[in-house]
Amino acid sequence: MGDMNLIGASVKRKEDYRFLTGAGTYTDDVVLPQQTYAVFVRSPHAHAKLRAVRTDAAKKAPGVVGVFTGADTAAVGGLPCGWLITSKDGTPMKEPAHPILAKEKVRHVGDPVAIVIAETYAQARDAAELVDVDYEVLPAAVDVRDAVKPGAPAVHAEAPDNKCYVWGHGDAAAVDKAFKAAHHVTKLEFANNRLIPNAIEPRAANAVYSRADDSYTLYVANQNPHVERLLMTAFVLGLPEHKVRVVAPDVGGGFGSKIFLYAEDVVLTWASKQVNRPVKWTAERSESFMTDAHGRDHYTVAELALDKDGRFLAMRVHTLANLGAYLSTFASSVPTILYATLLAGQYTTPAIYAEVTGVFTNTTPVDAYRGAGRPEATYVVERLVETAARDLKMDPAEIRRRNFIRSFPYATPVGLTYDTGNYEKTLDAVLKLADVAGYAKRKEESAKKGLLRGIGYSCYIEACGLAPSNIAGALGARAGLFEAGEVRVHPTGKVTIFTGSHSHGQGHETTFAQVVADRLGIPIEDVDIQHGDTGKILFGMGTYGSRSLAVGGTAIVKALDKVVNKGKKIAAHLMEAAEADIEFKNGFFQVAGTDKKKAFAEIALTAYVPHNYPLDKLEPGLNENAFYDPTNFTYPAGSYVCEVEVDPETGVVRIDRFSAVDDFGNIVNPMIVEGQVHGGLAQGIGQALLEGCRYDPETGQLLTGTYQDYAMPRADDLPAYQVGTEKTPCTHNPLGVKGCGEAGAIGSPAAVMNAITDALGVRDVPMPATPQTVWRAIQAKR
Amino acid sequence: MPVKVSMTVNGKPVTAEVEPRTLLATFIRETLRLTGTHVGCDTAQCGACTVHLNGRAVKSCNILASQADGADVVTIEGIARADGTLHPMQEAFRQHHGLQCGFCTPGMVMSAIDLVKTTPNPTEQQIREGLDGNLCRCTGYHNIVKAIQAASAAMR
């Protein structure tokens, strides 16, 4: 609508000035009057009975204002799981209690046993050392394959076989039939390695209770403050929702790990009333490693049936998914709903069946981490497809082309309907961007240097824009997945937007302002975006699943439409014209076919100074809100090509080039979108080459509990990326956008591993492909 | 027994009594309430707490406040001009989208300034190696590298 070409412009970010000058406000920066500091006493054992928790000495330590244990919080409910999965035999998943402080047992290293609150952080830490816990150590179930063996230690009495659910999806009979008739079957068996999210800001919370009005305020590093509040008040603490305010201020990265309602948030809120002081806790990095919900951790057997021409006939997938010791907020849905529904990928595979067993283990809970189920699905599909091409001696691009979905809408056999896409176009674009034509020459040059060069493809699809509430509900979601937005037009025509989305690096303050300024035809400086505070924002489901612009942005657009419609009524009155004749364009309400017009700010002023105003028909003021529930998921898709050089003497893998072409539909801010892709690629490449959470298989001790043991990607581990975009606009939201936050992490691991296996000439290499792992694969082949 | 520490922070002399075990990072954040310096780990690996100590980038979580007694300390709050104009490194990060969530950013910027000072015209590889002590989980480093390349030209 605007004439300033804001849509599609790489506008520099509004939020950057405060972040670059140290003026951001993260949760740990908040210090309240009468502040106290908390330290959690955590289990050093993966599985143990709590014989006794003695707190007397800690309570007498200098500066201590309170020490609380599971016994003290006996009346408080457990943490809920937000998604019900029903097993294929019709029984509901097992939902063992998830206490906020351990009661009879501890079930993973890091499980909180007590909270110690003191005047200073140092005093709390000193006193925490004095809490005397008597543990009776029990055998632990650690590896997902061991945990389902008969006789394995049971994490919960409610699930003696450690199975939370055995879920089936798709037409098993049709798949069996297709496999019998197949010309060729490609089979792979692999783990999808467990990852630790590692937002650089550790989790933190600061809770304060006010006796004056019996209310609470919780500052917390969180991606969805309203969800946090709803879960905490309605399901755990039983507090009146309107008496709790949750503020998620500047948040230093989330990647999923800050979606969930964590025990610490609840304990702090509860304890703030007990001690009648604000209580702050900030995780040390080692606590983040032990207690932030982890990601991935699947063990999968996957098979693809093909005809003699390389056409996919059917796919069969069996996955053991590690859920950890307790069901985290969305844990049950990640390896099921967000995984098996994506197994069609970009292809017309007519029959697909997946069976997923969710398994409890004595490890940290596992939940959504950037991509959440979709990286695991893409890994299955794209490793299978590439391996099948090698099995059939076909070009990996050609086998994909032969199976691409080409007509839309397309209903997959796993329950989704893709609205639009053009997979051939992204593939063609990436082949060009990656200079695949020059690959053979580069391979020769590498060989001259004694290096093994390999190339790998990955054509991913994801379902984003979570989610149509009715579909999610039918699949077991215990929440709606709409978004809310409010447009507050001030008397001077300046605009404040309140959104239920939350930015923790995504740049909503800029992207959303571009959309608003464009639609209203006003300068972007006249628009501010507010988020992350239940005290300001009417409601929100928050940010995850690449949903913010597609769902949150659309809610704002719907509210803007209402503002414009009301403005037309006011303008019609002022200019004595029929409402139907008023057009809104470039910031002006104009009588069609005339030069009579009123600027947006004039209409805003009139709404607040309604001297000449149709008060009999229209309320004064200009403030509108909207709730938007999407009618379908969005389906970003793309094609990635990775080229690696492997040193056969050392097993060191160097990514020589990584090229990505994504179709995110329309793009509002290309600079921000590219940044999102870069970050996703780094996490996906990290999964493929570096990152792997390891537990001792016997004791369940976390072996990768610091940055010295867990290999985070650093600048010199990663290549410069070549990124491009193609565009098929989403058909069912007014912005035509699909979401871009997770793509890089979803598409890249398969591309990297396809390249490494190509370089080595082997069928599979486990992730992470560390030098030692790669070297062993080379030796095994010799 | 508290110890007295005095130093210059962002050009201003400061004096305080602190517990001997107080880290410089804690002193900056809690005592001086300069919260732009962030703490992202407990093993001196992430670099979010990087400040300048007598002109060199150091991890302020890895040094006691008392060890900085008498030193000249500059934090992220102290590098823009008094009128608010950004330092060329800060400006380059803004222009090149070298930050997302902003949490690693202060440490990144402080390290990058030192990097360009010691290696005035760094190659891409020198920048990547020079950033080895700073973790970023958002950007994949691509745009941070670009920003530092641009800043090194601007700072020449």
Segment A402-425 shows an average pLDDT of: 98
Contacts of residue A533, Cβ cutoff 8 Å, sequence gap at least 6: A225, A245, A246, A247, A248, A249
Chain B interface disruption, residue of A16, A198, A504, A681, most B CBs within 10 A? A16
Do A569 and A689 lie in one domain? The reply is: no
pLDDT of residue A601: 98
Distance from CA of A370 to the nearest CA of B (A): 11
d(CA A45, CA A192): 25
For residue A30, the tally of other CB atoms under 10 A from its CB is 18
pLDDT of residue A83: 96
Judged against a pLDDT cut of 80, whether residue A3 lies above it is answered with no
d(CA A320, CA A300): 6
Do B46 and B94 lie in one domain? The reply is: no
Give the residue from B24, B57, B45, B41 showing the smallest Cα distance to B134: B45
Segment A440-468 shows an average pLDDT of: 97
Q: What is the DSSP string of A687-745?
A: HHHT----B-TTT--BS--STTTS----GGGSPPEEEEEE----SSSTT-B---SSHHH
Judged against a pLDDT cut of 60, whether residue A1 lies above it is answered with no
Q: In total, how many domains does chain B have?
A: 2
- Out of B28, B53, B78, a domain closes at B78
Q: Is residue B83 part of a domain?
A: no
Burial of B149 (0-12, 13-18, 19+ CB in 10 A): middle
CATH number at residue B112: 1.10.150.120
Segment A574-592 shows an average pLDDT of: 97
CATH number at residue A706: 3.30.365.10
Do A451 and A317 lie in one domain? The reply is: yes
> Sign (positive/negative) of CA torsion A618, A624, A625, A629?
positive
Q: Is residue A764 part of a domain?
A: yes
DSSP label at A54? E
For residue A450, the tally of other CB atoms under 10 A from its CB is 9
pLDDT of residue A782: 84
Do A287 and A304 lie in one domain? The reply is: no
Segment A616-640 shows an average pLDDT of: 98
Is residue A641 within 8 Å of A456, Cβ to Cβ? yes
pLDDT of residue A4: 56
Q: Which two tokens stand for residue A620?
A: 């004064």
Do A430 and A330 lie in one domain? The reply is: yes
Question: pLDDT digit string (tens) for A281-291?
Answer: 999 999 999 99
Question: pLDDT digit string (tens) for A667-715?
Answer: 999 999 999 999 999 999 999 999 999 999 999 999 999 999 999 999 9
CATH number at residue B21: 3.10.20.30
d(CA A150, CA A145): 11
Range of the domain at A216: 32-138+201-252+258-291
Nearest to A12 among B38, B75, B94 (CB): B94
pLDDT of residue B46: 98
- Out of B27, B56, B78, a domain closes at B78
Do B107 and B141 lie in one domain? The reply is: yes
Q: Are residues B99 and A22, on separate chains, in Cβ contact within 8 Å?
A: no
Segment A66-94 shows an average pLDDT of: 97
Do B101 and B127 lie in one domain? The reply is: yes
- Out of A600, A628, A656, a domain closes at A628
Q: In total, how many domains does chain A have?
A: 3
Confidence of residue A347 (pLDDT cuts 50, 70, 90): very high
Burial A304-327, CB ≥16 within 10 A → b, else e: bbbeeebbbbbbbbebbbbbbbbb
Do A695 and A761 lie in one domain? The reply is: yes
Segment A177-184 shows an average pLDDT of: 98
Do A692 and A763 lie in one domain? The reply is: yes
Do A427 and A454 lie in one domain? The reply is: yes
Torsion-angle region of A34 (φ positive above 0: left; ψ -120 to 50: alpha; else: beta):
left
Q: Is residue A177 part of a domain?
A: no
Q: Are residues B94 and A707, on separate chains, in Cβ contact within 8 Å?
A: no
Judged against a pLDDT cut of 80, whether residue A326 lies above it is answered with yes
Do A100 and A248 lie in one domain? The reply is: yes
Chain A interface disruption, residue of B62, B138, B143, B148, most A CBs within 10 A? B138
d(CA A548, CA A537): 15
Question: pLDDT digit string (tens) for A633-672?
Answer: 999 999 999 999 999 999 999 999 999 999 999 999 999 9
Range of the domain at B146: 88-154
Do A423 and A498 lie in one domain? The reply is: no
d(CA A262, CA A259): 9
Is residue B134 within 8 Å of B44, Cβ to Cβ? no
Do A491 and A520 lie in one domain? The reply is: yes
Cβ contacts of B128 on chain A, cutoff 8 Å = 715-716, 718
Do B48 and B21 lie in one domain? The reply is: yes
Q: Is residue A7 part of a domain?
A: no
Distance from CA of B1 to the nearest CA of A (A): 14
Do B71 and B14 lie in one domain? The reply is: yes
pLDDT of residue B156: 86
DSSP-based three-state secondary structure for A523: coil
d(CA A595, CA A131): 78
Q: Are residues B40 and A28, on separate chains, in Cβ contact within 8 Å?
A: no
CATH number at residue A80: 3.90.1170.50
Average pLDDT score, chain A: 97
Which parts of A509-560 are beta strand (E)?
527-531
Do B8 and B72 lie in one domain? The reply is: yes
Which range (A324-338, A465-479, A518-532) has the least confidence? Answer: A465-479
The per-residue pLDDT string of chain B (156 residues; one tens digit each, 9 = 90 and over) reads: 899 999 999 999 999 999 999 999 999 999 999 999 999 998 999 999 999 999 999 999 999 999 999 999 999 999 999 999 999 999 999 999 999 999 999 999 999 999 999 999 999 999 999 999 999 999 999 999 999 999 999 998
Do A112 and A221 lie in one domain? The reply is: yes
Q: Model ipTM?
A: 0.98
Q: Is residue B38 part of a domain?
A: yes
Do B110 and B56 lie in one domain? The reply is: no
Question: pLDDT digit string (tens) for B7-51?
Answer: 999 999 999 999 999 999 999 999 999 999 999 998 999 999 999
Query: Which amino acid appears at position A229 of this protein?
Result: R
Confidence of residue A2 (pLDDT cuts 50, 70, 90): very low
Q: Is residue B108 part of a domain?
A: yes
Do B99 and B62 lie in one domain? The reply is: no
